[in-house]
Structure 1
Amino acid sequence: MAALTLWARQNLSRLIYFLLGASNRIRLPTPSVLPIAGAVVGLYSGLAAGIFSNLIGVMSGITFSAAELTATLKPQRLRTLMESLSSARWHLEYALVGVPLALGALLLARVIEPGGPRDEVKRRLRLLALLTLGALSLYYPLVGLAAVNAVFGHAHNLAAAIPHLPWWLMLLAPTVGGLAVGRLLRDRPETHGHGLPEVVRAVKSGANVVPADRGLLKLIASAITIGSGGSAGREGPIVYGGAAFASSVGRVLGFSRKELSILLACGAGAGISASFNAPIAGAVFAMEIILREFELRVFSPIILASVAGTLVSRGVLDEAPLLNRVNYELVSGSEVFAYAALGIGCGLLSFAFVKMLHGVEHFFQGRMGGKLSPWLGKKPLPVRAALGGLCTGVLVFLSPTVWGSGNDFINMAAAGQLPFFFLVTACVLKLVATALTIGSGGSGGTFFPSALIGAMAGGAFGTLVHYFFPHATGPSGAYAIVGMGGAVAALTRGPLTGMMMLYELSGSHEIILPLMVTCTIASAVCHFLTERTAPKVQSDEDLLVATHVRALMTEVPAVTAGTPLRALTDQLLTSEAGTLPVLDTEGNLYGTVQVEQLREVWRDESMYPLLVASDLARKLPALAPDSDLAHALQVMDQEDVDALPVAPVLGLAPCGLLTRAAVRRFLFAQHAREHSTGNYPVTPSEAAH
């Protein structure tokens, strides 16, 4: 027995030493961390959707239930609250899985010995574990808050409740909401915008920086706008909030520029997935609209983010899809022509929406002629936003679809329950009201309103077509669903997003052919009209092609291959770009060395006498001074770096360095000059939202 105990102790000691040694050999390269980080970002995007929905519920409860405040604490209402809490989707299995994994990661991070690359492993493990625990600590209170809101705040059927609102409340609520949002955003002009274009521009420019504090501010401002009756969508702030969180996490984890852009797309796609309860559409949106690419390496993190965001949102929101399940089909082959005509109509309607939105923004900012526009431009933002809210309140008298996001009316149109005149009126007034709400200074997205506009337009078109061709066409509800997809596709220039979103929401395989026809044509029509009418100014691509590297490069002294590590560290830390060109042993330009490369060795004093510049340098192609900036950025993307060496001319001039930040500053200066003259390019992304 003693021998057996001794043998067990020895083997246990060997196992412990083996595990400790294995833990110290763990490496967490970025490609393996990125899918995990994407899933964590998806969790927080789903939580952002839950927080935002509950904020809207609070505002809606204040608006609709102000007169019922005395009845709030009646015993019957309290019993209803207890039933709501007991039937909430708590999903305790999330904690049973997430907590042990997070605690295990924290324990592993504590066991790993510090020093060298192991510090990076410890930091990444600790951060991902703490984020997972943080998500769980937010999830369960949100589930409880959603149950409370279902009883006291957000249990109203807008289609039935709005006609019973007092006339003064219809005018007062959007006005006060606009005043509050204007005051909230008055001192933060950088937070203005619809949310989605800012994310697209951050990825497109390569900056990949979306400040987290702006994301929270957008959530609060948009909740006030929508909850008080303003006509706006909830997807923009959620997309922006998810991308802002992803930007912060990616930078803390030390991701490269390309990996940061993928993580931002994860946050945006998960936001769409959570908003529409459509994970496939959210993943397609992230790749088609945000990244504009479908490479294999982006699939895993984006899909995991969309799945995580949807799972969380189903717990804190609702498992039911946005659309009630309907079974429509293509009645005859000739009906394709009707759907093609609907695609043209959706493209024209989306183009009109974009133009009106920009026109109203310019009008309230005082950039149009006449007397009223300059007068409005001199007023503070709270006054302008309040006036926009008042105009929206007036339009509520003509159509209840103007109030909020109007989701309830989409289902009614899909079921064919709305008359022709109501559909036409709702389509026009929702377009005008959204332009007034957002253009005057309100906060919110345009994705949801465009979906409702398309549903109303499609329903009206389907009513007419079915009236004249009853045996060859389907009911108006089918055209409402397809029109919804066509409007989304046209507004975003994303036909795949429009197709997949409505295919997933409708749950009907038969509707995919009409969706493909309408979404493709609508997107093409709106894109053609937008590009045709855009101001004829020099685009970014033209500027990059026309500008030589010599104009933006910085002359910096190159370091020799044998430069000791300590001297190299001093030069790197005092350099402006944190990057220096490196020469090989023969004096030719070899590549660059960056300050980030010192991260793994700067704490280890024993490495200083052993390493020289050539040990840390990365071989990179040198740019010619006469090459253009477009070529330089292409090489940077291929090498996944932010700086490239510039070869001297005939060996006479000193070496140069071109950084991505310098190119970004150059483009920003050009844009500022064009904006100051009023002639600025309207890119598809900016025009779409």
Structure 2
Amino acid sequence: MKFNFKENLNRLNQWRMQKISNRNFLILLSFVVGIIGGLAAAILKGLTHFIASTLQDDVQWEYKYLFYLIFPLIGIFLSVLYVRKFIKSKSLDHGITPILYAISRKSSRIDVHNVYSQIITAALTVGFGGSSGLEAPIAYSGSAIGSNTGRFFGLQYKEVTLLLACGAAAGISGAFNSPLAGMIFAIEILLSEFSIPVFIPLLISAALASVVSRVLYSEPLFHTTVSDWEVEALFFYLLLAAIVGLFTIYFARISTSVKNWFGKISNPYNKVWLSGISLGILIFIFPALYGEGYLAIQQILDGNFDSIVKNSLFSDYRNMGWVVLCYTVLVIFAKSIAALFTINGGGNGGVFGPSLVIGGLIGFAFAYGLNLTGLVQLNVPNFVMAGMAAALSGIMHAPLTGMFLIAEITGGYTLMVPLMLVASISYLINRAVMKHSIYTKVLADSGDLISYEDKDRTVLSMMKLRYILENNFIILRPNETPLDRQTEIIHSKRNIFPIVDLKGKFLGLIYSEKLFSILLREEEGIEKTFEQLAQKPNDIIKDKENMEIVMSKMNRDDVWILPVVDDENHYLGFVSKSSVFNKYRALLMRQGKYLE
């Protein structure tokens, strides 16, 4: 049955390639990916809010609020338990970084279980009060939908990548009911090289996902009455952008520190206890940290400025403006820690949502604090929205996404000019210090980041060493002599010979010029063993090194060919510049045929 299915699928693909061009077929698939992506977004939002409302509203018990302190721990534990019991790899990637890694290093292949695993673990994490967002998981789930749809129909790398981006756009669009922001997110974060053929499928997927999500789950993320901005407040918008930009630098650096700290803990359940207990303590002090945090932003947009202190240890002082201001500043820093602990402790979520909350709270604290002085009277909701756009822009290095997302989800298109300014300035400040975003820094450090600013590095990053490895060389044993192998040496079409022992360990190499000189008695060594004659190579390539490192080693020593070994020094073959150039040319040709 399995054989028949594959055979019929191959026949379908052959018929499709004859009758339908790649461009038209991708448009058809973008409809499919958009509908499924919108459905996934609606399921995730509905499941998360079902868990949250059940715990908060349906369960009636006098002391249930005390359990809010351990609910995040339970949610993270269930997420880790699910991964350990039901996912074969025993690990679940989260965030946008693994999507970028899949594009650059895994031919845009994402395991199919991410379609549902991201939804299940994110709903458990956030539904039980984990302080992270749903947007990164749904983008990951959507990417998995697009990736596996392309693979199912046997499409090539660039086409699968486009469908992956369509899925991510559908996920963001469905999560926020913002098709324009979803499309721009995919272009700005995942597809740095924009073209019109890319634009159309993304637009279709994002639009359909928004329609499906709105039909199945119509509750808006934010609702507010937006008033026009005042020119006199322009200086304060610029000042807010600078403050948020500096904070995004702090957030990026503390993110790296927290990730490295949790990375030293090998037992996943120890991470659960550490993050869960820490979250419980933080939520006890700052109840606004429970869950996504969007409720706190919505209450501020509604004009309930003291709501941030409500139900906290300082609720009796909520009528004192300076208490509200100081408490909000503490919540901003606490939210940063809570989100990073949730994500690194085993829960599933991303920094997309926390970025919005943090930016909104900074905007609120800024405007509310200045209003307390009596010197100015700023429109607080406008600055909340501007802060959200600035934070998203700086942390993600995505000013267009930040600008259009806030305009769409709040209906605040009248604020477009301030949003443009704050998003740009925050991005420029962060970029001046942090060359790479929070998503791309890890990939850049490991050499796995695709950059369209450098075409050569981009193509090199797409190559895999195992596909250009040459191993049709005559292997010489260390105890043999040139006379023992003279026939094979003379008739070899290669001018280099690896010397490998019986255990497969690489000992060195010897060039044909030296062997011919020895065999012709032009120099001594006819009775010496190859172990004695072995020459040390200029350098050695490890099988896990990326192609950029390989080329740098070749160029540094001006050599044409180098041996490749594994971590235990077992001989695997050679890599040459000829094989690299041939693969480079093949990749360029494949890109040239894209979407013909």
User: What secondary structure, in the 3-state scheme, does the structure 2 residue paired with 1:450 have?
Assistant: helix
The alignment covers a number of residue pairs equal to 446
1:256 is displaced (CA, Å) by 2.1
Distance change (3 Å), C-alpha of 1:507 and 1:556: same
| Map of 2:378 onto structure 1 | 474
How do 1:319-334 residues align onto structure 2 when only pairs under 5 Å count?
Answer: 320-333=219-232
1:427-452 Cα shifts (integer Å, max 9, x gaps): 12211111111121211121111100
Equivalent of 1:176, from 62, 68, 74? 74
Residue type of the partner of 1:493?
A: H
Distance change (3 Å), C-alpha of 1:283 and 1:165: farther
Distance change (3 Å), C-alpha of 1:626 and 1:170: closer
Larger mean CA deviation between 630-639 and 429-438 belongs to 630-639
1:293 is displaced (CA, Å) by 2.9
d(CA) in 2 for partners of 1:458, 1:57 = 26
1:34 is displaced (CA, Å) by 0.8
Residue type of the partner of 2:592?
A: E
Equivalent of 2:304, from 417, 420, 429? 417
Distance change (3 Å), C-alpha of 1:26 and 1:182: closer
1:250 matches 2:137: no
| Map of 2:391 onto structure 1 | 487
Equivalent of 1:456, from 361, 364, 371? 361
d(CA) in 2 for partners of 1:550, 1:268 = 25
Equivalent of 1:284, from 184, 187, 195? 184
d(CA) in 1 for partners of 2:432, 2:176 = 28
d(CA) in 1 for partners of 2:211, 2:460 = 48
1:177 is displaced (CA, Å) by 1.6
| Map of 1:439 onto structure 2 | 344
* TM-score, length basis structure 2: 0.68
Contact 2:71 2:129 in 1 (8 A): yes
What fraction of aligned residue pairs are identical, expressed as a percent?
A: 27
1:68-94 Cα shifts (integer Å, max 9, x gaps): 49xxxxxxxxxxxxxxxxxxxxxxxxx
Contact 1:544 1:628 in 2 (8 A): no
Larger mean CA deviation between 335-344 and 258-267 belongs to 335-344
1:399 is displaced (CA, Å) by 1.9
1:201 is displaced (CA, Å) by 2.1
1:399 matches 2:289: no
1:190 is displaced (CA, Å) by 6.6
d(CA) in 2 for partners of 1:267, 1:467 = 45
d(CA) in 1 for partners of 2:291, 2:259 = 19
Equivalent of 1:359, from 257, 266, 285? 257
1:231 is displaced (CA, Å) by 0.6
Distance change (3 Å), C-alpha of 1:455 and 1:435: same
| Map of 2:99 onto structure 1 | 199
Contact 1:191 1:214 in 2 (8 A): no
| Map of 1:221 onto structure 2 | 121
1:516 is displaced (CA, Å) by 0.8
| Map of 2:37 onto structure 1 | 45
| Map of 2:55 onto structure 1 | 63
d(CA) in 1 for partners of 2:161, 2:582 = 21
User: What secondary structure, in the 3-state scheme, does the structure 1 residue paired with 2:113 have?
Assistant: helix
Distance change (3 Å), C-alpha of 1:224 and 1:632: same
User: What secondary structure, in the 3-state scheme, does the structure 2 residue paired with 1:208 have?
Assistant: coil
Equivalent of 1:312, from 212, 221, 245? 212
1:239 is displaced (CA, Å) by 0.8
Residue type of the partner of 1:323?
A: F
Distance change (3 Å), C-alpha of 1:25 and 1:308: closer
Residue type of the partner of 2:370?
A: V
- Segments of structure 1 that go 5 or more residues without pairing to the other structure are 1-22, 70-163, 367-376, 558-622, 642-689
1:545 is displaced (CA, Å) by 9.6
Contact 1:182 1:386 in 2 (8 A): no
Cα RMSD (Å): 3.4
Equivalent of 1:54, from 46, 53, 63? 46
1:400-420 Cα shifts (integer Å, max 9, x gaps): 221110211112223442242
1:638 is displaced (CA, Å) by 3.7
Contact 2:358 2:388 in 1 (8 A): yes
How do 1:68-83 residues align onto structure 2 when only pairs under 5 Å count?
Answer: 68=60
d(CA) in 2 for partners of 1:508, 1:64 = 31
Larger mean CA deviation between 476-485 and 398-407 belongs to 398-407
1:382 is displaced (CA, Å) by 2.4
d(CA) in 1 for partners of 2:460, 2:187 = 30
1:507-538 Cα shifts (integer Å, max 9, x gaps): 23331111111111111222232238979968
Contact 1:485 1:498 in 2 (8 A): yes
1:37 is displaced (CA, Å) by 0.7
d(CA) in 2 for partners of 1:277, 1:231 = 22
Contact 1:174 1:386 in 2 (8 A): no
Contact 1:60 1:227 in 2 (8 A): yes
Contact 1:186 1:382 in 2 (8 A): no
1:176 is displaced (CA, Å) by 1.7
d(CA) in 2 for partners of 1:48, 1:347 = 33
- Segments of structure 2 that go 5 or more residues without pairing to the other structure are 1-14, 306-323, 473-575
d(CA) in 1 for partners of 2:410, 2:25 = 35
| Map of 1:118 onto structure 2 | none
1:327 is displaced (CA, Å) by 2.0
Contact 2:356 2:388 in 1 (8 A): yes
Equivalent of 1:382, from 261, 269, 286? 269
1:295 matches 2:195: yes
1:247-306 Cα shifts (integer Å, max 9, x gaps): 111112222211111111110011001111111111111111111133100111111101
User: What secondary structure, in the 3-state scheme, does the structure 1 residue paired with 2:19 have?
Assistant: coil
1:326 is displaced (CA, Å) by 2.2
Contact 2:133 2:354 in 1 (8 A): yes
Distance change (3 Å), C-alpha of 1:640 and 1:364: same
1:269 matches 2:173: no
Contact 1:336 1:517 in 2 (8 A): no
Contact 1:462 1:478 in 2 (8 A): no
User: What secondary structure, in the 3-state scheme, does the structure 1 residue paired with 2:421 have?
Assistant: helix
Larger mean CA deviation between 297-306 and 181-190 belongs to 181-190
Residue type of the partner of 1:388?
A: S
| Map of 1:520 onto structure 2 | 424
d(CA) in 2 for partners of 1:505, 1:290 = 22
Residue type of the partner of 1:322?
A: L
d(CA) in 1 for partners of 2:58, 2:383 = 39
d(CA) in 2 for partners of 1:31, 1:546 = 23
d(CA) in 2 for partners of 1:469, 1:477 = 18
d(CA) in 2 for partners of 1:550, 1:357 = 30
d(CA) in 2 for partners of 1:24, 1:480 = 50
Contact 2:178 2:408 in 1 (8 A): yes
d(CA) in 2 for partners of 1:264, 1:256 = 12
1:387 is displaced (CA, Å) by 2.6
| Map of 2:317 onto structure 1 | none
Residue type of the partner of 1:465?
A: L
1:595-637 Cα shifts (integer Å, max 9, x gaps): xxxxxxxxxxxxxxxxxxxxxxxxxxxx972976996587245
d(CA) in 2 for partners of 1:501, 1:630 = 40
1:205 is displaced (CA, Å) by 3.6
| Map of 2:400 onto structure 1 | 496
d(CA) in 2 for partners of 1:511, 1:384 = 42
d(CA) in 2 for partners of 1:547, 1:447 = 30
d(CA) in 2 for partners of 1:639, 1:388 = 48
| Map of 2:244 onto structure 1 | 346
